[in-house]
Structure 1
């Protein structure tokens, strides 16, 4: 999440506020430790019932406005609202059962995430895989802590989770403040060339300034200039009829009736003529026997790669992309600098340098400072608060973490691009949209009433005229 905040707000915005970020991080870290330790002795000073009511209120409010969202935003709001209401109901139910169910849920989530991180790290073997294994071990230890009843017999589940959240959040703020303190350019999208990075930072002042709009009602129109992420899903690009395997064929690969594996594809296209689509120069044998070996992010799996010339050529040679994600708020200059540096190396690796990782890195370079361009006019800390309170930031951070510990796939890139599109091109909040709809309905109702009154008056006038004519006759 630290890197995403750096990408969305830009280094210039964060560097001027590093001291405040550091103080807030320290306070959050200490407060989390106090809340966590307080729950260990079973005598809770944490106001758990008021917290449950606030959680329930937030869940109900989210459900009330969830229908106003667009596409995935609507689904995310429903999930968030239902999760908050369910957790609040378990807390308010009290007794042993509610706390026990919450502990089992949190413990299972930590256990599943930790095991997945360890297994994927050992299979892929990327550069920092040992650190990922340690992180997975910590998550498994937390899962065991939630599973066993000592020392509070599950009564301290909510304070434990809140304390851990505050501690992790404070630690992330400390990392963020430390990283942006002396940065000249953004390492999250750095090219690796010191001179190019300095030039990128110097050219940042010439980048597009604040946008006139701060939110949009939907995705860009078909005739509107926008950055486009093309995704060929594994199922949609399979040569034969795919055998459906939920989750696997969405995020990893699809297998057709002949046993041929399809991993899908991803590409990025800009109106300025940039097209980023990395493909192996020679076809990789993706049979089930060799596929596990090819997943390792090691040098022996590097092969020469080829960048496709443009979307029309690639779609004609293969098939049109299955899904497209379009983003208005991007920086063409930063994307151009990234592309000029990235295309110098045509190495292809199925795990760490593939079509999806290329598109994800290019997308991050293109939207650097997007939130600052949109909300910079709000001033002060409001842009930072708008970013960290947007649910899509958490979703994008989780997707990025999963891709970093496993591998970027077309499915992960698709969801990542959708989440980033909500952050770069923010949609109206639910309450704002509801207010607009209410005003529009009131205006339409008043117009309808006036029309009905006008027709009724005209009808009455016609009836009176007919009656007057009949009397004269």
Structure 2
């Protein structure tokens, strides 16, 4: 997550605050250790009931405002609200059963994630695959710790989880602070992609925005925006695909003839940049060869080619299945990334494919996007807003999974959707909902007053005002992605 925060806020914003991040990380790790150690005996001093009440209120509040979200944002907030409420009810239930169920859930999640990481690292063999296996083994050990009742018979489950969360979060802050202290550019980009200190980036939309810019939905058809094109495995299969839940969404689809389709991803900017990497010659994707070419090793490198533009690619194949559009991006950083990246046309199905190329390009284009949205904010507000946004944690988990496995069109699609919510934030919280409601009420009262004044003057009401008054209370954000 540290690198994702650096990408979205930019090194320039974070570098001056590295000492504060260092102290926050130390305090978080210390509190996490205290909470974990406190739960190791039966004398638990952690305020379980107040914590559960706060968790329940947060879950209910999230469910109430979830309807203001759009597409994936609404779904994410609904999942968060239900999860918080369920966990709070289990804590409030108390006794053995509630703590036992909660412990089994956490243990299963750790076990599944650890096994998935070990298996994927063993198959793909990316550069740091041994470290990924070590982390997976650690997660399995944590799962075993949650599965067995010693030493508190599951009563310490909540303090254990909270302590681990504080420790891991603090460790991320410490890593972020240490990197910021000694770096002059963003490590998430190549040095050639970092903007010179005396160069002001060219921005769109957010550069002329007030302190906080909120959009009510994705960009309109004619609006200036970056576009991520995704051909899903099922949508791009030559024949009718055999449905395999999750597999055909994130890995590959297999049609009735046994032909594998992995999908495709591309990125298009209004400035004329089109990034779409494809193997120069079709790779043999027969089932008996597919496992071999999954390895991120040099012997699987093949010559690649960049497609000229979207229209040419769509005519030669088919239109993209899904598009994600983002207003707040930096075209100059994207151009510098593209000038450096296209010098190498190597293609590798796992570590340098169409999806990884688009994801890296998207990160280059969105560097500093969150800081630009809150460009007038002082102090720690931009960092706080970013850290409390659910999409950041989703994007961080997607990025982690892609780094330990491989970027696929499905992961790139979810990653682009999460980043679009961070670069072009939508109203979501109680404060934003209150502002929207008050604005609608003010517009409705104004329309009513104008209609009353015209009625007193003997004028016919205007159709636009009548429609506005009728629909003011039912206005909904537009768009799906």
Name the TM tier (shorter chain): over 0.9
Matched with 2:196 is 201
Mapped partners of 2:115, 2:90: distance in 1 = 27
Structure 1 equivalent of residue 145 of structure 2: 145
Distance 1:20 1:449, change over 3 A: closer
Q: For residues 392 and 304 of structure 2, what CA distance do their matches in structure 1 show?
A: 32
- Structure 1 CA distance for aligned equivalents of residues 358 and 169 of structure 2: 29
More deviation in 37-46 or 432-441? 432-441
Determine the structure 2 residue equivalent to 1:399: 398
| CA distance in 2 between partners of 1:9 and 1:446 (Å) | 39
- Cα deviation, 1:388-444, whole Å, max 9, x if unaligned, reads 111000000000000000000000000000000000111113322354235425643
1:318 has 2:295 as partner: no
Give 1:42 shift.
1.4
Aligned-partner Cα distance in 1 for 2:122–2:106: 24
1:19-98 mapped onto 2 (5 Å cutoff)? 19-98=19-98
Residue in structure 1 matched with residue 285 of structure 2 by the alignment: 286
8 Å contact 1:124–1:295 — kept in the other structure? yes
Shift of 1:206: 4.4
What is the aligned partner in structure 2 of residue 362 from structure 1? 361
Shift of residue 182 of structure 1?
2.0
The CA deviation at 1:210 is 4.0
Kept after mapping to 1: 8 A contact 2:193/2:333: no
- Aligned counterparts of 1:375 and 1:197: Cα–Cα separation in 2: 23
The 1:281–1:31 alpha-carbon spacing in structure 2 relative to 1, beyond 3 Å, is: same
Task: Give the structure-1-normalised TM-score.
Answer: 0.92
Contact 2:201 2:330 in 1 (8 A): no
Give the CA deviation at 1:455: 7.4
CA–CA distance in structure 1, aligned partners of residues 153 and 24 of structure 2 = 32
* 2:239 matches 1:240: yes
The CA deviation at 1:84 is 0.3
Alignment of 1:248-287 (within 5 A): 248-287=247-286
CA 271–439 in structure 1, closer or farther in 2 if over 3 Å, else same: closer
Q: Deviations over 1:351-406 (max 9, x none)?
A: 00000000000000000000111112111100110111110000000000000000
Shift of residue 177 of structure 1? 0.2
Q: Is the 1:96–1:155 Cα contact (8 Å) retained in structure 2? A: yes
Distance 2:445 2:374 in 1: 34
* Structure 1 pair 161–211 and aligned structure 2 pair: CA distance change class (3 A): farther
Decide which moves more: 249-258 or 209-218. Answer: 209-218
Counterparts of 2:202 and 2:16, CA distance in 1: 19
RMSD across aligned positions (CA): 1.8
Alignment of structure 1 residues 449-464 onto 2, 5 Å: none
Distance 1:443 1:360 in 2: 41
Query: Where do 5+ consecutive residues of structure 1 fail to align?
Result: 459-473
Give the direction of change, closer, same or farther, for the CA distance of 1:416–1:189 in structure 2 (3 Å limit).
same
Q: Take 2:399 and 2:284, find their aligned partners in 1: how far apart are those partners?
A: 27
Moved over 2 A (4+): 200-211, 441-458
> Quick one: distance in 1 between partners of 2:450 and 2:223?
38
> What is residue 436 of structure 1 aligned with on the other side?
436
- Residue 184 of structure 1 corresponds to 184
Match of 2:119 in 1: 119
Asked if the contact 1:65–1:434 (Cα under 8 Å) also holds between the matched residues in 2, the reply is no
Verify the 8 A CA contact 1:124 1:406 in the aligned structure 2.
yes
Find the aligned partners of 2:322 and 2:357 in 1 and give their Cα distance: 17
Q: What is the distance in 1 between the residues matched to 2:453 and 2:323?
A: 48
Is 1:426–2:425 an aligned residue pair?
Answer: yes
How many residue pairs get aligned? The number is: 453
Three-state SS of the structure 2 residue aligned to 1:202 is coil
Shift of 1:66: 0.6
Structure 2 unmatched runs, 5+: 459-481
Higher normalized helix content (fraction of residues) = 1
Superposition pairs of residues 291-370 of structure 1, within 5 angstroms: 291-370=290-369
CA distance in 1 between partners of 2:277 and 2:449 (Å): 60
Contact 2:55 2:84 in 1 (8 A): yes
Output one character per residue of 1:234-267: Cα deviation in whole Å (capped at 9) or x when no partner: 0000000011111000000000111100000000
Q: What is the rounded CA distance, in whole Å, between the counterparts of 2:375 and 2:11 in structure 1?
A: 13
TM-score calculated relative to the size of structure 2: 0.91
